[in-house]
């Protein structure tokens, strides 16, 4: 089997696996009719939409499927970052020392999925909101800006989350 055909098959199977898992999660029924309906609908939708679910250009990077152990540790890192940011934001609001700015910076992440995960993590942490993501360029509203330098601002906004996400999607 040619590599391009193999990658197409993998993308279809990955889309099918996600859809069937969601079917069982939301249907809550394990009757034979429900299982057959879920398999049929998931297979049909996977054949139609696999291209949307996983882009073809992601194949060369081998970054579609997350690494398991770092992915399991990531929610704890994210929650810790959210709590730390919430206390910093609370302190700055109570003291009246806010310095809002829109900052621009780049990310070292190569995968589209990883960049979106970083943008979501930035938005989840209090005091920052991802405004735009274009390839590796982020535009973020930052409530407690301490610098105007884009590289330093990026390091402060991303914190350890970028490194954690990079471990998940190599």
Q: Give the pLDDT confidence score for residue 58 in this predicted structure.
A: 64
Q: Give the pLDDT confidence score for residue 30 in this predicted structure.
A: 86
Q: What is the mean pLDDT of each run of 10 residues along the chain (170 residues)?
A: 81 90 89 93 92 70 71 93 93 91 91 89 94 93 88 89 88
Q: What is the pTM of this model?
A: 0.71
Binning the chain into helix, strand and coil, the percentages to the nearest 5 are 65, 10, 20
Q: Give the pLDDT confidence score for residue 59 in this predicted structure.
A: 56
Q: Give the pLDDT confidence score for residue 50 in this predicted structure.
A: 83
Residue 15 tokens read as 């889309």
CB-based contacts of 129, cutoff 8 Å, min separation 6:
122, 123, 140, 141
Burial bucket for residue 151 (CB in 10 Å: 0-12, 13-18, 19+): exposed
Please answer whether residues 165 and 114 qualify as being in contact, where contact means their C-beta atoms are separated by less than 8 angstroms: yes
């Amino acid at each position: 089997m040619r590599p391009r055909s193999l990658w197409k098959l993998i993308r279809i199977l990955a889309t099918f696996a996600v859809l069937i898992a969601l079917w069982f999660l939301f249907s809550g029924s394990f009757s034979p009719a429900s299982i057959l309906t879920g398999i049929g609908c998931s297979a049909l939708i996977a054949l139609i939409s696999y291209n949307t679910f996983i882009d073809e250009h992601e194949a060369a990077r081998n970054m579609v499927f997350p690494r398991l152990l770092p992915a399991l540790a990531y929610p704890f890192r994210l929650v810790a970052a959210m709590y730390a940011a919430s206390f910093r934001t609370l302190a700055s609001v109570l003291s009246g020392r806010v310095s809002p700015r829109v900052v621009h910076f780049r990310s070292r992440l190569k995968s589209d999925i990883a960049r979106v995960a970083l943008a979501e993590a930035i938005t989840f942490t209090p005091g920052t909101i991802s405004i735009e993501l274009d390839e590796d360029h982020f535009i973020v509203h930052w409530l407690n800006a301490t610098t105007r330098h884009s590289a330093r601002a990026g390091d402060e906004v991303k914190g350890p989350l970028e490194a954690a996400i990079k471990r998940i999607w190599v």
